[in-house]
Every structure is written in C-alpha cells, then in structure tokens.
Copies of this chain bind each other. A is one copy, B any other.
C-alpha cells in the first residue's frame, strides 16, 4: 500500500497555485491603492462596487451571501467601512432585525476615483492572456467552485 502516490505532484496542483496567485493579486491591488493614496482594500472595493449599483441599499445578510462571506466577517468589514464613512447602516422599517447597508456620498466619491485605477489594474493583470485562455480559465474556476460546493454538503 503506497499512500504517498501523488503528493509529490502537489506543486502542479490547483490548490497551491490558486492560493499563491490570489494572495499576490491582493497584494498587488493593495499596492496600487497605496501608491494612489487611497485607503481601501480590495474587499472593501468590491462591497463598494456592489453598493454603488444598488442605491436602495442591501440587507446585510444578503450582502454577506453575495460576497460569499461569513456574516460575522461581513459585520466587521462593514464596521471598518462605516468607521471610514464609506457606508452606513440603515435599520429596516419593515423588519427591525435587518440592516440596510447603503453607500455614502463619500463612498461614492471614493469609488469614482478608484474606477479608472481598477480598470487599469485589471488590464495589467489580464495582459497577454488570450480570449480562449480566459474562457477556459473561467470555466475551470466555475468547475472548482462547483466541486467545492458539492463536497461541502457531505
């Protein structure tokens, strides 16, 4: 019985590549914002983007769901963003358990400033990658997510 059949191939496996690349990407975005004197993280930016498209606000729990984030984690992310005056918690009138998260004017302003920076960053990240490669990349990502969710149920 040989258990260690394939672990030698670990480095050519999705797991370490995905982790490393994702971390490098976060650092890259963080660096870009830092160089432009913008105090915001990639995670906050994504929330800001979602909220900028929903002027009525989004229930906190729903926002957690959309961003695939634990509700405890979202609570704290919103805490930081609220502290920095990017978003506001508005209690729902229909259900007092719920909070509507809304982007502030200050948040919208910051988001508008970041738009061209983010577009340029995405272009830089996706440089030299063909449309075909991109399509397969997204397809593989989708399959991975499916695999992760299927197995999660067991």
Contact = CB atoms under 8 A, between A and B. Distances in A.
A75 B10 CA distance: 24
Nearest to A126: B14
A7 B118 CA distance: 8
Interface string A82-101: 00000000000000000000
A119 B29 CA distance: 32
A126 to B, nearest CB: 6
B137 A14 contact: yes
A22 B24 contact: no
A6 interface: yes
Contact of A25 (B18, B133, B143): B18
Of A20, A31, A49, most B-chain CB atoms within 10 Å: A20
Contacts of A138: 12, 17
Interface of A: 3-7, 10, 12-29, 31, 42, 46, 49, 68-69, 115-116, 118-119, 121-122, 124-129, 133-134, 136-141, 143-149, 151-152
The 8 lowest CB-CB distance pairs between A and B, nearest first, are A22-B22, A137-B140, A136-B136, A17-B141, A28-B148, A24-B148, A124-B151, A127-B147
